[in-house]
Amino acid sequence: MYKVGFIGLGNMGYAILKGLLRTDSKDNFTFTEISDERKSALSKELNVKYSNNNIELIKNSKYIVLAVKPQVYKEVMEEIKEYLTPENIIITIAPGFDINTVKLLLGSNVRVVRSMPNTPALVGEGMSAVCFSDDKFENKEIEDIKNIFLSFGEIEILEEKLMDAIVPISGSSPAYIYMLIEAMADGGVLMGLPRKLAYKLASQSVLGSAKMVLETNTHPGELKDAVCSPGGTTIEAVATLEKYNFRSSIIEAMTSAYNKAKNMK
């Protein structure tokens, strides 16, 4: 029996499976994909066996990761609900689908883990938030689930009422950071830097800044102040960012993502 089966293997499912393959045997995993061509290509690339359909996968997997687009969640759950057993545990990764909604679609006895990972899982630096349904989980099962997410980054176990807030702050936020890196690199190119070098300088600066926050446990505002010399170039840049509502635009964007997540069922 496979330990983990992925229904769908898009960007997020692919990132999670790649993380798992760094820490566990390929024989513990399987997946389905709607495109036969993509299914064969992924199986060859990852050296992981695929299942012919979702029902076959359900019957032969312990943990079921619903890694399809949110728009087809209901369709997939309708297809698989009659084949689930008490041994199965459903792991969702889509925004907006709370545990009660999943149980209404799959049955009240189904055990559910609601999660929100992000795509840096692909390089082992994912950030995932996880919550459990009010069902009995064996200690081994809880450890297995933790290890699934730890295989590609960090995990926080939260109350479900906080899960929608995870979408804008970590689920969607890599996109904001990529936009920041791209904009910084564009600025560097405007000033004469080669583009490849500009991307490297911007990316490493973002990486290093994040590590400073995590490893020094210092408030980001204090770290920002330490870079801003009186009358210097950095405070000039910060003043310009404030003029154009840098921080408030990020908060507004996160609020938009949060509201969207709450209305995606």
Question: Annotated binding site for NADP(+): which residue ranges?
Answer: 7-12, 67-70
Q: Which of 54, 68, 78 is nearest to 5 (CA)?
A: 54
Binding residues: 7-12, 54, 67-70
The alpha carbons of the chain give a radius of gyration, in whole angstroms, of 21
Residue 50 contacts residue 39 (beta carbons within 8 Å): yes
Phi, psi at 261, each rounded to 5°: -60, -40
Using alpha carbons only, give the angle 192, 208, 166 rounded to the nearest 5 degrees. Answer: 110
Q: Tell me how far apart the alpha carbons of residues 93 and 106 are, in angstroms, rounded to a whole number.
A: 16
Annotated binding residues for NADPH: 54
Beta-bridge partners for 160: none
Give which of 229, 187, 190, 232 is closest to 205, Cα–Cα.
187
